[in-house]
Copies of this chain bind each other. A is one copy, B any other.
Amino acid sequence: MVMSSVVNTYPLSSYTFGTKEPKMEKDTSVADRLARMKVNYMKEGMRTSVEAILLVQEHNHPHILLLQIGNTFCKLPGGRLKPGENEIEGLKRKLSSKLGANSPGLQPNWQVGECVAVWWRPNFETVMYPYCPPHITKPKECKKLFIVHLSEREYFAVPKNLKLLAVPLFELYDNVQRYGPVISTIPQQLSRFQFNMIHS
């Protein structure tokens, strides 16, 4: 019953990064975002979002790829599923939209692996919890984080208005101020995996 999970990680330098047209955020403020969430909830019910943990290595330490918007805000690549959409297919669709080249032949081979965390939004507010709080019968969002295994060589096309950063686990750990509660506890979620650091 005990599973030992191994994740192969390749050096950052084995990947190629280009750019593509900007992908603007749909909302320009937190208030706008929560208002849009409310409208969508009325139409479609609970929002389900899926996000990817993409791993690379540098100096034998795992790093996670984060998209930076502006000078400070970082997020995992991913997004909202369409109503009824399969989680795995939806995550691949979102990853290709955020980080894939426009040519279908150049799409990375997204190998969606294990779900490592689930976060719940009880109300139309920014706060989320790693459980559905007691007495909340109608949560507004469920966000799932998956490990997405990368092949040894891939081409990523990064929207021009965003930056793609490789952030080491030791930078994320215990850094809720900079990365927020979801991203700053990724090191704990990943601690049970064995990283097979491949040097090329």
Chain A residues in contact with chain B, CB under 8 A?
A: 1-4, 59-62, 87-88, 111-119, 129-131, 133-134, 146, 168-170, 173-174, 181, 185, 187-192
A2 proximity list for chain B (CB < 8 A) = 87-88, 112-115, 146
Query: In the complex, A60→B170 CA distance in Å?
Result: 35
Oligomer copy total: 2
A192 proximity list for chain B (CB < 8 A) = 114-118
Contact B88 A173 (CB under 8 A): no
Query: In the complex, A66→B48 CA distance in Å?
Result: 33
Query: In the complex, A129→B188 CA distance in Å?
Result: 8
Query: In the complex, A192→B168 CA distance in Å?
Result: 23
- Given A1-B112, A115-B2, residue A187 in contact with residue B59 (CB < 8 A): no
Chain B proximity of A173: nearest CB distance (Å): 7
